[in-house]
Structure 1
């Protein structure tokens, strides 16, 4: 049977694709966890895999002319020591010379075993591993329906769109449809292009597709720093790289757009117009765009639409325990001047005041420990805040780190690996977790950042909605004490139809120690939500109300 690691990859690379193909062999071989870690700061490792509790470290050497030097052996030994590996392997695209073999023998004599994966052994492994990875997912009933309709739309009309909330398996559906079309020989010239707007997304998409693809479908990446040496199979590309090289690309029988709400942007429309694919499809969790562009114009009406409420109702998403934490309310102001109209900014200053980070951190740590949380994400307003707030959380004893675009990609990979292993309790970030990050064990979401975009809000909330073994619910702690933000939450909770997500967040969105205050604020917000969400600094009226004396300190929990 044909396989993805053939002579074209061994001879022509590129080296990044060679590393990924080695990782894919481990995935098909049944490894529990496989990561590509090669790059700056990798300590000599390129691929790390875990199988039966053992850590395997692989150093990959792709050379186009001369064989690798003996120094590669020292590199894999250093990497094995750093990562505490049980097995150390050197994978090469060319047959090795006597220098490498002598170095392997030298280490053997001192009790250190380095295994060699030369081209012959790599080809043998690729031939012997199963056609599909053992991690291949069985589709849930709604996923099967979505896949069937998605395929039907592509083959019948050349267009298809599915809307699936975060955590419901957009990648699985797209990958299964592509695999199905390949099996039936329905992809023109056997070439597929998968587009996204960020390099991190296409990297994760490629890994996600591997679970569903047969091993005879090769995969590639096209980005600013990598160009495929051939295009048979599936190419995962950033839209920016396509625009810059459209004249040099072959034709593709199918183009898929992940996070398809981006398809309305000028760059995506330019790319699709230049490529002119016979079939184009897309999947998204948030189909609405801030500029009002209707993505149905390019993809057709959604063939399947499942939102967060559908996933919760069908038990495919975990339950949400939403806690909107507000600060002290100036009830004297409300009682004395409630008959006047006030602007949104004035009311924000008088009714709701920003929570101090130290107090917010104390609440977060208390919830993390008392509710026995496994992992949390904090959405911060700025990178500086994310860094400082992580330090504040560490001061309270949590293992917290910040992750941002300021860091090199390898450092972000290291932090994500530690987070997934449970070595980090909480990660703080600005927007790196908005799209395409699969962290199913996250059971605590904290909002410290105001956003008036429903799309961003739902994407960030979705980071905690995935099901995971032993996960009972996701706790959401919202410290954004801004009337417009509160109105967004209430509007989302109230919405029954249309393109806005319906979030069943319960009846106690605002929890006050003084119950009468909480009831008043919630009812008033329900009445004012639509006005608050309008553009500009709206004039709002607080109704007259006889408030009972508030207990000291009169704060909000």
Structure 2
């Protein structure tokens, strides 16, 4: 079978796909870590990889007519200096000319060795690398079952839906199903389309599939600034780019939708209706939509449902140490004004007094240092807050940076690379980590915002649930400033069956110095939680409160 990097890619590109295919080749060649870093500020490197303790930098040159120029050599030497590389490589899509070879020879004479992957060497390497990457994941029993059911739904009815909690391997399951269907010749036209709503998510999906795919299935990217030169294999695309080019696209035998709760949007529905695939499937961790659309209408009933509670119970997800830190409660107000018909907004203003950011930063720093955390994510209410709160964390000697959609993609890539490498302790953000960001080493999640969407809440919590070597648990610090948020977490604890977001949190969600106060608040919340979670400004009832007068204000544990 023909490897994914063949003459079509070498001759037709595009250049971005050539870079990614070289990176994928390194993964199949057994590299421990491979990153595509090309872009503004890349210091001359397109790919950085690590193998056997050595750092490799690769400069990729895809040209359609003339051979690569000699300047590629200086670029990769500069990159080698910046990244501290042991090996420097130029990968070229065309046979090299005399100028580039002369430049390689010139650097060799002064003791700097630059290696070359020309088309002949690339073809030889593609033929010799194993069919699967050595880092291919072995499916757990529940993933094998999910893949089998998902495949059966596609082949029997043309529709399939799987609901798998964040960290349970949605990408692995999808990739395995696609591989099996290809191997059995069940993909019409030999073309698959994988849809998502963000470019960052599309790129991550493509990288995630590589680890599970055999080397004879090529992959492509379709986005606002990139168009595949051919479509055999798997195309990963933003739904916006598909809508913009739907009349130019070929037919696809299978369309898959990641984060399939989006499938009810007008854009996704238009795309699927226009493509008319014989098979359509979707996976999601959170099957609820704010507009109430039932995604079962398009995908059919879920064939697999595995939630956070299943993952925790079977030790497929990290243990959760959830600490719901209520702000100071004005117990004097409770005692003096225990009457009916307070609205939710009135209680929020009078009953809960917001914790200052400085105090929250102090508590976060204390937990991070004393409990040996490795990396954390802080969810802020606004971008401005994320930026200022990162400064507050730095004042407590934590390496913290804000990451947001205000920054360009290259800057976000740089921050994420530093975070994964351990150069940043905490990242502060708003919604950037809700979907599609794989950060398994995160062992501290901090909520500085109150979201009233259970989908967003579960997505954000899920950022810390992935297992990784050496990770004992994820600590969640939830600084609450809204009674509705307390109600959300109490609802998680109350749910004994059904809802996917159930967590075994125990009965010590709210921690006060005075145990009786905490018990009172918890029991009242259990009674009021459903009312608090309704739309609008609900009217709530404060019960008569006959506890002895206690110190004001109540402290937070």
TM-score by length of 1: 0.99
Q: Partners of 2:152 and 2:22 in 1: how far apart?
A: 34
Q: Partners of 1:450 and 1:222 in 2: how far apart?
A: 35
Q: Partners of 1:177 and 1:250 in 2: how far apart?
A: 22
Match of residue 448 from structure 1: 448
Q: Partners of 1:421 and 1:313 in 2: how far apart?
A: 30
CA contact (8 A) 1:342 1:541 kept: yes
CA contact (8 A) 1:287 1:499 kept: no
| Offset from partner CA, 1:56-86 (integer Å, 9 cap, x none) | 0000011111111111111101111111111
Query: 1:552 offset after TM fit, Å?
Result: 5.8
Query: 1:359 offset after TM fit, Å?
Result: 0.5
Name whichever of 528-537 and 269-278 sits farther off: 528-537
Match of residue 322 from structure 1: 322
Match of residue 56 from structure 1: 56
Q: Partners of 2:236 and 2:339 in 1: how far apart?
A: 59
Q: Return closer, same or farther for 1:327/1:238 CA change in 2, 3 Å cut-off.
A: same
Query: What is the root-mean-square deviation in Å for CA atoms of aligned residues?
Result: 1.0
Please list every run of 5 or more consecutive structure 2 residues that lacks an aligned counterpart in the other structure: none
Task: Within 5 Å, give how 1:151-550 maps onto structure 2.
Answer: 151-550=151-550
Task: Within 5 Å, give how 1:35-114 maps onto structure 2.
Answer: 35-114=35-114
Q: Partners of 2:28 and 2:500 in 1: how far apart?
A: 40
Give runs of ≥4 in structure 1 deviating > 6 Å: none
Q: Partners of 1:542 and 1:46 in 2: how far apart?
A: 61
CA contact (8 A) 1:514 1:551 kept: no
Name whichever of 347-356 and 284-293 sits farther off: 347-356
CA contact (8 A) 2:309 2:500 kept: no
Query: 1:192 offset after TM fit, Å?
Result: 0.3
Query: 1:267 offset after TM fit, Å?
Result: 0.4
CA contact (8 A) 1:492 1:500 kept: no
Number of residue pairs matched by the alignment: 557
Query: 1:417 offset after TM fit, Å?
Result: 1.2
Q: Partners of 1:187 and 1:509 in 2: how far apart?
A: 49
| Offset from partner CA, 1:528-550 (integer Å, 9 cap, x none) | 11111112111212111112232
Query: 1:370 offset after TM fit, Å?
Result: 1.0
CA contact (8 A) 1:338 1:543 kept: yes
Name whichever of 491-500 and 340-349 sits farther off: 491-500
CA contact (8 A) 2:132 2:213 kept: yes
Name whichever of 498-507 and 160-169 sits farther off: 498-507
| Offset from partner CA, 1:391-423 (integer Å, 9 cap, x none) | 111110011111111112111111111111111
Query: 1:506 offset after TM fit, Å?
Result: 1.6
Give SS of 2:354's match: coil
1:21 aligns with 2:21: yes
Query: 1:499 offset after TM fit, Å?
Result: 4.5
TM-score by length of 2: 0.99
Q: Partners of 1:510 and 1:390 in 2: how far apart?
A: 26
CA contact (8 A) 2:330 2:553 kept: no
